[in-house]
Every structure is written in structure tokens, then in C-alpha cells.
Amino acid sequence: MADPLRAYALLAWTWCRALAQYPLSLALLTAAQAVAVAAELAAVMFVFTRAGELAGFGAREALLVYGLAALAFSLADLLLGSVERLGEHIRLGSFDTMLVRPVSPLVQLATDQFSPRRLGKAVPALGAVVVALAGLDVDWTVQRALLLPVLVVSGTVVCCAVWVIGACVQFFVLDAREVANSVTYGGQALTEYPLAVYGRKVVYAATFAVPLAFVSWQPALYLLDRPDPFGLPAWLRFASPAVAAVLCLAAAAVWRTGLRRYRSTGS
Amino acid sequence: MRIYFAVFACGLRRYSGYRAATAAGVFTNSVFGAISALVLLAVFAARPHINGYDAADAVTHVYVAQALIAPVAIMGPQLDLAERVRTGDVAIDLLRPAHLAPWWLAHDLGRAAFGVVFRSVPTFALGAALFPLVLPGDPVRWAAAAASLVLAVLIGFGLRYLYALAGFWLLDARGVTAVAVMVAGFASGQLLPLVLFPDPLAALLRALPWAGLIQVPVEVFLDKDTLPGGHIAGGLAFQAAWAAALLALGALLTARAARRVVVQGG
């Protein structure tokens, strides 16, 4: 267990030092992430300013939901975002190189071109969560305070697992990187708004099929102490860690299946 | 002139090679479209009319915007020129018996032409299958929409050509490009229709070239009186003016940039 983590830290740090050689580009790439958060957040706020309330959620609640979604997504992007380039590595043959090295190929893939620029998104997202929680009338119990970090970590793990599963599609269809985008980036776009906005079918699909509801929707319901608008049981709010664990097992299984099926592109 | 047709054909052929990627792109554009459409339907259920848009207009906006993503390349791909500036291969481009900007324009038009047929049309058709969309009523308006699409592609090229030229001064245009892509998504009406923005901000963004990528083509498609001058012709003139200005600026800077190139030979 310790070994892959050490390898991960070492490789990630190597990439950080490499990127520091182009400081202006790194600063601009980080700024671009911050601009992205600002743009997305502005869009969400414009929507709520125009509509007043959507599905019983006002602008402040929406800020919380957006912040939770963006935080989990950007942390997952920071830690594992590079896996989406699997198809490229397969095509160029560099994936074969990873397989012969004595480090887990998943670690190598995840740390490839690791970039601290993604903190440009995570930090403002954390700020949004803090501002939203400060502005909302949250009933702060010990349980809520303790569960908040657990829910954020679970949401991040859910995003990570979705990312790995999405990337594994490229083991089977080489050019299909964009299909994964529809669940990774698409998942982020979906979870940015309170899920009730999309109606019952989408909420059910995001709870039981692709469990993105545990990234921002269920945690927000818990923090705000709201009843579930679609009558789903309240214990689902505490299911995030279990869902994250199950999804990780699924991701590991898909990754192993893909790896076993992998035949190099040749010379 | 024949050389540019050959380059156009190259661009067309190059992108036709990735069939699975094209299908995946259509799928992803449709999923994003559905997510945005559901949000906007909820907004318009609460407020049925916002700045001349109703629910059907908003959903049409979403799918025209998703259909335009590929041809105007608002989120990329960037021109290969940018990478060639970084690696120095641009020296070879400058030696060719063809001008730099028209060469890359021809290549990009080939890419865009492929995108219109195999990305835009299927994406919009999927949208029309899922949601009730508003279509232009007569052939003249279809022609105007087509003209608007061509002008949007030219603006898209003009902007990306300038990003690529930035590499001559910065050596690495990736940072500039990353910021520009984010600004473009927001300022063009791709992320959210500009009609939902606060009015002063919307007025400002409507004057900038990015509006010509998505918002103006959508309003030409819908025949909205919020267009510059209040009618379709005004919208097309706005796009044509920005396309001309960006291409002229590109030509001017190309001459400057070419003087900065140092070719290290061996």
C-alpha cells in the first residue's frame, strides 16, 4: 500500500519541478482554471438571479451545491485527471513503456503531466463552499462538522472512480476519449446544480446508475437538513463513503479487465 | 489558388480519419446539451420570458451552440501552427510558396467543413429528437443561418490564429490559449445564453468578437430583434466586421512575427 503512494508522490513532485521551468505558462494555466471556476460560478448565479428559486433552492444553496461539486471534481482532476490520456499513450506506445516499469501503471498514468495548476480550481471551489456555509443558516452539530470532510472526500473518491472507469473505455475503443468526457466533465456540469432541477428521472439515474448524486446533492441535503424532494430515504445521505468504496472496487475491476484485455498496438 | 484547395482537402481528410472520435463527440455534445436544456427548461418554467427568449428558444440556443462547438472550435482543437511555432517547424511553413495565414485558413476550413456535416448535423438532429426546437421558417432564413455559420467559422479561425501567433513572442502559447478558451466559453453564450446575463454585462459581451461565435449565429437562426441593428442583416454585418478585423490583425502580426523568427540551422 505504501509503495504506490510513495511512487505517486515522487512522480507528481517530479512533474511539478518540470513545470516550474515554464513559470509564466504555469501561472497562466493556473489562472485559466480560476477563470473557469469564476465563469461557471457566474453562470450558476445568473441562472438563479433570473429564476429566483429553482426546485426550492435559492442562490445561496446553489452556491453550496456548486462549491461541493467543483471541489470534488477539481480534486479528482488534480489526483487522477491524467488518466483520460490513456488512449493517447496506447496509440503512441508509451503505455507499453509504463507496463515494463516496476511501478503500478495506474500510478504512472495518473501522475503523467501531473500539474498543480488544477489547484487554481480547487482553491476557489473550497472558497465557495466556505462562503456558502457561512451565509446559510446551517444547524451546526458535532455530527455535521465531522461529516463534512468525510462527505467531501467521498465525493472526490466517487469522481476519481468515475474518471478511471471512463478512461478504461479507451482500452476497448481507442478514440473514445470524448465518451468519458460525457460522464466526467458532463458529471460535473450535472452536479453543479441541485439535482432536483432536472426532475425525478435524472435524480434516480444519478443515485442508482451513475452515483453522482453523492458528490454534491446528497451532501447538500444533509448539510441543509432538507427532506428529499423525491421521497428517497434519509439514510442515503450517510451512504456516500460506502458508495465511494463500492465504486472504487468497480473501477479496480474495470481497470484490471481492461489491462488483461490490452494488446499493444505493435511496433 | 489550387494549392489552397489541396490544403483544404487535407484538413477535410485528416479529421475524417477519426470515426469513433467523431461519434463520441456527437454523443458528448448531446449529453451536455441535454443537461443545459433541462436547467434552462426549469428556469423558463419559473420565468416564461427573459429578454425575448422563451423556453423553446432557450433549448434551441443550447443545441445550436452544441452544434457549433465543432466547426468554430471554441474549445479546440487549436491550430497546429501553435505547436509548430514552439518546436520551430514554422520555419518550414514560412519557406513554402504560400502565405502563412491563408494556408492555415484553408486547412481549418477543411476541418470545419467536416465538422459541420459529421458533428453539427447529427448533434442538432439528436437535440431535435429529444426536445421541441424552433427551426427557421423559410429558405432565406436558412441561407442567413448558413452565412452566419461561415462567418462564425472565420471568427473562430481569426481568434485561434492570433493565439497561435502569441507563441512567436511568448514561445509557449499554451497558457494564453487556456485562458482564452475559458473566456470564449463564457463570453460567446456557449456556457449560458447571453440573454440570461445581467443586462450591462450582456451589452458589453455582445460587442466583443466571441459573441459572433455562438450568440449571434443562434439569434440569426431564431431571427431575434436583440441582434445588432435589430435584424438578421445587422447580425451578419457584425460578424463580418469582426471576421475582417481579426483576419486583418492576423495578417499584420504575421509580417511582424516572421521578422522575429530565428532559424538555427545545422
CB under 8 Å to A19, separation ≥6 — which residues? A25, A26, A115, A116, A117
Does residue B117 belong to any structural domain of this protein? yes
The pLDDT assigned to A13 comes to 93
Q: What's the number of domains chain B is made of? A: 1
Does residue A101 belong to any structural domain of this protein? yes
φ, ψ dihedrals at B74, nearest 5°: -65, -30
Q: What's the number of domains chain A is made of? A: 1
Residue B72: pLDDT band with limits 50, 70, 90: very high
The 10s digit of each residue's pLDDT in B15-48 is: 887 888 889 899 999 999 999 999 999 999 999 9
| Nearest CB to B182; choose among A27, A35, A181 | A35
The pLDDT assigned to B152 comes to 97
Q: Is the pLDDT of residue B14 over 90?
A: no
Does residue A66 belong to any structural domain of this protein? yes
Does residue B264 belong to any structural domain of this protein? no
The pLDDT assigned to B111 comes to 94
- Interchain contact A19–B (C-beta under 8 A): no
- Interchain contact B143–A (C-beta under 8 A): no
* Structural domain span for residue B240: 2-259
Residue A48's nearest CA partner among B77, B51, B199, B196 is B196
Assigned C-alpha cell, A88:
493517447
Does residue A136 belong to any structural domain of this protein? yes
What gap in Å lies between CA B72 and CA B63, rounded to an integer?
14
DSSP H or E stretch at residue B180:
helix B174-187
Does residue A267 belong to any structural domain of this protein? no
CB < 8 Å to B197, chain A = 46
The pLDDT assigned to B257 comes to 86
| Nearest CB to A47; choose among B35, B39, B186 | B39
| Nearest CB to B185; choose among A28, A39, A55 | A39
Span B201-207, average pLDDT:
95
What gap in Å lies between CA B240 and CA B248, rounded to an integer?
12
The pLDDT assigned to B177 comes to 87
CB < 8 Å to A47, chain B = 39, 43, 192, 196
What gap in Å lies between CA B1 and CA A204, rounded to an integer?
57
For chain B, give the number of residues.
266
Q: Which of residues 231-250 of B touch A (CB under 8 A)?
A: none
Cis status, amide bond into A149, omega within 30 of 0: no
For chain A, give the number of residues.
267
Asked which of A170-174, B154-158, B183-187 is least confident by mean pLDDT, the reply is: A170-174
The pLDDT assigned to A2 comes to 59
* Structural domain span for residue A73: 2-261
Who wins on pLDDT, B109 or A172? B109
The pLDDT assigned to B265 comes to 57
Q: Whole-number mean pLDDT of chain B?
A: 91
DSSP single-letter state for residue B35: H
Tracing cell 447538500 back to the chain, one arrives at A220
B219 contacts B226 by C-beta, under 8 angstroms: yes
Does residue A266 belong to any structural domain of this protein? no
The pLDDT assigned to A267 comes to 52
Does residue A149 belong to any structural domain of this protein? yes
Does residue B266 belong to any structural domain of this protein? no
**Is B186 within 8 Å of A43 when comparing Cβ atoms?**
yes
What gap in Å lies between CA A85 and CA A89, rounded to an integer?
6
In order along chain A (267 residues), what is the average pLDDT of each group of 10 residues?
83 90 85 90 94 90 95 93 88 89 90 88 94 90 92 95 92 81 88 92 92 94 92 91 95 94 77
Q: Is the pLDDT of residue B204 over 90?
A: yes
3-state secondary structure A42-82: HHHHHHHHHHCCECCECHHHHHHHHHHHHHHHHHHHHHHHH
φ, ψ dihedrals at B208, nearest 5°: -90, 160
